[in-house]
Structure 1
């Protein structure tokens, strides 16, 4: 109406005639009815002789319009009045139609497709301040998770047959997928075709002793195959120090068949240690009288993932020439029952066992011959990892991953069922917090159900290998739920030093069932000594940490008196776990869910990642001090092994650079506006890069997958350098001064590169060497 009045006023006030171009532009205030008028006296041609828009064309052949003086010609006055009324009516109709469309326009919200509750449109954040107080988040999680809810989940996800790639494994994966969908999460699966070694399809693996042949039900995947005969030799737990004691006694181990018991180190490490002694075969038996006749299952790949696609993913379309992991043993390896092991050990001759081995049997003599025959078959299996994600509301493309394996050799209640159930309950609880309690995580949470964990973390590792470049930039933490409950009365954690402070604060805020906080219960005077352990290669979290450079954590409620003896056996059942936990399985499962959930929520809630960069400063300085003392020892004892000019100064300077860079970052945080989302993202990216940049860039992930120079495995690590210096000092055959110097330089510059990245911009670097 206002436009119509304005137009009429202009006509009757005798304003000059002009041509008008209408530009319908969206009002940024949200009013789509706004019309912007642009007045122009020069119009471009709208058509070329086709009559379209010809009345707006200045170059038309029509005679020019001759204006008369207003008020003199009655016809002119009548024409103006008629035109004014016409424009008034048109303006009124336009105004009416616009307002009518506003009133009767369709309701977009009601017609839009349904979306997960946590994905509904909310007002965008303008800053990085928490949307919910942390104490309220903790209270919500404690309210959602309860011991009583675990019974039904245990029942749903328990299975007696769910070996990787089997119908039982696939059925459990489908259940996980359905649950994630039920909770409103975006879901997907990750399919791999992996090669695993299974027992003989027909027949058995065997051993022959004293002319008595025994058929074996258990097996070790990835063993060498064939037939070997050698003299029996007892080697305790098969640790390096056990074989060293045998060597110090002058015992010839070449070609022997070694018997070792389970415990302390992984089965793969036992076989690898034995292979270094040039033995022909290894027989491993359970160190548990309560499982005398029970077969034992496992794998002996000294690595992680599919050993026939080392360093790259086993997707169906992968086209690589046949290759094997260097971690595959060449010697034979087989499990035997405790009962069969006793029958062999009781008939051995030779020398007495070393003190402290806790055995009254003899070591074994040259005449105690055993023949071992292994006929395992290599097969290809299709496995599926299953995922669900709760997306963040600020940094959606940054995420913490929470995972658990779902496969097992048998029932696998402690090995997989409890962890899978904790994963399901965490997914349900956190999605419910987002759906019904207005909790808005800043970053995303990915829930992962892995397959083929029993074959050496195959499913998880293949996923990492397939998406390494993306995950190393965006996944900032991994929380492992495998075997989180194995007993009552103890608590152990393996983690990246970056997460130690988060673990400590979480322990202070959670209470043990009917007792004080976890920290008071287990931390005591020195919590790091009493709780923290070194992460082992057979831990699912290990490839995340040492291969992908993602800060990771594994934890376990266990028994202080003894370890859980039923992993890898058919006796890993709910009944056995009830005995080990004094019937506290559901309570400890609840506490495990709260412990993992507490850490995950803290990582997606705070505006800055809850990482302690100074923890690595202490670890680095300890390693540098050890290397320095050993270099001095080599120069003193083996003067010709290292050049006089070789110094640890460069490594010390790199250590100092890291220390200064971490201090400077803390200073930058204190002087930054943490309500600025972009500023927080920049700082978090600097923090996330630390673990990733401790992976040596000079090594191939295919040849040396665990490239972490502090927590990895191999001669490139700082621990490996210290061991190499010991070899130089003792002048052992495998000592190589040139190789050491090369590895020493590369480790130094890996550490310096990590410090440079942590410092931030190139002009902020501090390389005072």
Structure 2
């Protein structure tokens, strides 16, 4: 009982500082060099090698368990021998311009046969082209409001190939918007206004600065869901029933990323409607950022062609799960995780996070072997597979272990990119405010502050809270742990059954952005455009969802009452 109610923060303060002192920055550096030495796309041989290496490191550290957990999942890859291309052709079919499909090598040994060609995962193979002299539309960031503006300006994208800037929203939402507006294909590029703020000259971009050079292309998934698309809601184990690929909600139009050097060639030739404002203009000099759909008169015999050869296949992907059994509450899990796969070498995303996870594992293992100490709760270290394609490895594992996790998981700490600039940024549930600030007060500063907290306070306004009566720690911990579960909708959000949190979720229109009370915003979207009967039906859905939310809020308020009250 004494161990159950004891506050390890207070009783083991010396141990916390010992853990911090045991971190070896040389190990972090060496880990990162090994992890980022070669490309390791999900499901490739190098990805498997790293999974085995991480499993072995957990075992060497003295973990109680360390296992490879395999799932066979649907992934997407470009054709190695037949790259995706964007071309400009004349009326006789002669190629005037052809896009590049790999970045320009910066050093002699930069090229690696396993480094994939530029592509956007889960977009289909396709071959589409415009009419001569017209059919290309620049759509800014391809957001809902951008397409609405084009409609207002009478610029019709139906049947056209659209070209859009990366940024602002998730690329999958860009493809979906283009598809729903009738476009036959979409080209994505990173604009200098977003990725090369000091200029596009050689001295102002990588490797001389950190800004993107002109041949840089952003690979990424366009899948709007999470997990294996063939087994929604269930783990992709050997016995799982799998949907047919043609029944899965994947993009229907081809899409290809290009560098801004190639984008300049295309954008300079677009005429038609001028850009409506400076917000639509990027940073390419000599480019007016006209909207189209016509090309300029001197290019009236040109057609734009988009040809992709992406392939869907089932590949094996491994999660690595290691555990250190807790001493007091072994049935409570604190999870620390990060994905392992990358579109390329992945030095920042995700290997900076995996490098520290491996060092953290080593430190905990050494602490256990040298002192006999064990954590209060069971620690679960997770190296996820196939995250870049749509959180696949982590989703499949949660689907396989959902009953245990709902009852036993205390919190999950995700690390991913561990180098993010001069100011610390920790997006999390508001319930974790106090432990996060408490930890920051213990960690030495990296610039001019005594601690990370001091440095953080220099840039942010924060307020202290009052560490509770130790006797009620267990009950308060359970309140914190279980409160989030009050807001889980068993049937999911209206129209999004796999998204179950009613208060915090990703936006339906931008998978990168958070939404508060997402069901409400989803149901209100374009309600004014519905006819009378459709609007009445939608309003009834809104009333029902508000009822659900009201009941949840009442449950949450009740859950936070004194423990003895039912």
Q: TM-score, normalised by structure 2?
A: 0.79
Question: What displacement does 1:178 show?
Answer: 0.9
Question: Counterparts of 1:407-486 in structure 2 under 5 Å?
Answer: 407-486=341-420
Which stretch has the larger CA shift, 231-240 or 130-139? 130-139
1:355 aligns to 2:288 (yes or no): no
Indicate conservation of the 8 Å contact 2:17/2:442, yes or no.
no
Q: Does the residue aligned with 1:148 lie in a helix, a strand or coil?
A: helix
1:707 aligns to 2:510 (yes or no): no
Which residue is 2:445 aligned to? Answer: 512
- Show structure 2 runs of 5+ residues with no match: 102-116, 206-212, 296-302, 509-514
Question: What displacement does 1:221 show?
Answer: 0.9
Q: Please give the per-residue CA displacement for 1:525-554, whole angstroms capped at 9, x wherever unaligned.
A: 75489xxxxxxxxxxxxxxxxxxxxxxxxx
Say which of 117, 128, 135 aligns to 2:5: 128
Q: 1:425 to 1:701 in 2, by over 3 A?
A: farther
Q: 1:266 to 1:321 in 2, by over 3 A?
A: closer
1:309 aligns to 2:231 (yes or no): yes
Question: Counterparts of 1:283-298 in structure 2 under 5 Å?
Answer: 283-287=187-191, 288=195, 289=200, 290=205, 291-298=213-220
Q: 1:237 to 1:313 in 2, by over 3 A?
A: same
Which residue is 2:108 aligned to? Answer: none
Q: Please give the per-residue CA displacement for 1:21-61, whole angstroms capped at 9, x wherever unaligned.
A: xxxxxxxxxxxxxxxxxxxxxxxxxxxxxxxxxxxxxxxxx
Q: Does the residue aligned with 2:433 lie in a helix, a strand or coil?
A: helix
Which residue is 2:511 aligned to? Answer: none
1:227 aligns to 2:132 (yes or no): no
Q: Does the residue aligned with 2:20 lie in a helix, a strand or coil?
A: helix
Q: 1:196 to 1:515 in 2, by over 3 A?
A: same
Q: Please give the per-residue CA displacement for 1:306-345, whole angstroms capped at 9, x wherever unaligned.
A: 2222222111221244267865222221111222111101
Which residue is 1:214 aligned to? Answer: 98
Which residue is 1:163 aligned to? Answer: 41
Higher relative contact order (CA 8 A, sep 6+): 2
Which stretch has the larger CA shift, 361-370 or 458-467? 361-370
Question: Counterparts of 1:69-88 in structure 2 under 5 Å?
Answer: none
CA–CA distance in 2 between the matches of 1:737 and 1:702? 17
Q: How many pairs are equivalent?
A: 501
CA–CA distance in 2 between the matches of 1:477 and 1:171? 29
Q: 1:421 to 1:761 in 2, by over 3 A?
A: closer
CA–CA distance in 2 between the matches of 1:700 and 1:244? 26
Q: 1:134 to 1:281 in 2, by over 3 A?
A: farther
Q: Please give the per-residue CA displacement for 1:570-624, whole angstroms capped at 9, x wherever unaligned.
A: xxxxxxxxxxxxxxxxxxxxxxxxxxxxxxxxxxxxxxxx9x9x9xxxxxxxxxx
CA–CA distance in 2 between the matches of 1:765 and 1:270? 51
Which stretch has the larger CA shift, 454-463 or 214-223? 214-223
Q: Does the residue aligned with 2:397 lie in a helix, a strand or coil?
A: helix
Question: Counterparts of 1:567-646 in structure 2 under 5 Å?
Answer: none
Question: What displacement does 1:685 show?
Answer: 3.2
Which stretch has the larger CA shift, 459-468 or 516-525? 516-525
CA–CA distance in 2 between the matches of 1:395 and 1:327? 42
CA–CA distance in 2 between the matches of 1:701 and 1:464? 22
Say which of 457, 471, 493 aligns to 2:426: 493
Which stretch has the larger CA shift, 712-721 or 339-348? 712-721
Considering only aligned residues, what root-mean-square deviation do their CA atoms show, in Å? Answer: 3.4
Q: 1:157 to 1:205 in 2, by over 3 A?
A: closer
CA–CA distance in 2 between the matches of 1:441 and 1:178? 21
Question: What displacement does 1:763 show?
Answer: 12
Indicate conservation of the 8 Å contact 2:138/2:292, yes or no.
no
Question: What displacement does 1:423 show?
Answer: 0.6
Relative to its length, the structure with more helix (as a share) is 1
Indicate conservation of the 8 Å contact 1:701/1:707, yes or no.
no
Question: Counterparts of 1:248-287 in structure 2 under 5 Å?
Answer: 248-287=152-191
Question: What displacement does 1:126 show?
Answer: 5.5
Q: Does the residue aligned with 1:495 lie in a helix, a strand or coil?
A: coil
CA–CA distance in 1 between the matches of 2:52 and 2:150? 51
Q: Please give the per-residue CA displacement for 1:258-294, whole angstroms capped at 9, x wherever unaligned.
A: 2122233322222233333232211111334442224
Q: Does the residue aligned with 2:427 lie in a helix, a strand or coil?
A: strand
CA–CA distance in 2 between the matches of 1:238 and 1:225? 21
Which stretch has the larger CA shift, 744-753 or 189-198? 744-753
Q: Does the residue aligned with 2:124 lie in a helix, a strand or coil?
A: coil
Q: Does the residue aligned with 1:453 lie in a helix, a strand or coil?
A: coil
Indicate conservation of the 8 Å contact 2:493/2:501, yes or no.
no
Q: TM-score, normalised by structure 1?
A: 0.59
CA–CA distance in 2 between the matches of 1:294 and 1:378? 25
Q: Please give the per-residue CA displacement for 1:98-140, whole angstroms capped at 9, x wherever unaligned.
A: xxxxxxxxxxxxxxxxxxxxxxxxxx95542135625323311
CA–CA distance in 1 between the matches of 2:19 and 2:13? 10
Larger radius of gyration: 1
1:237 aligns to 2:164 (yes or no): no
Question: What displacement does 1:717 show?
Answer: 6.9
CA–CA distance in 2 between the matches of 1:310 and 1:702? 14
Which residue is 1:247 aligned to? Answer: 151
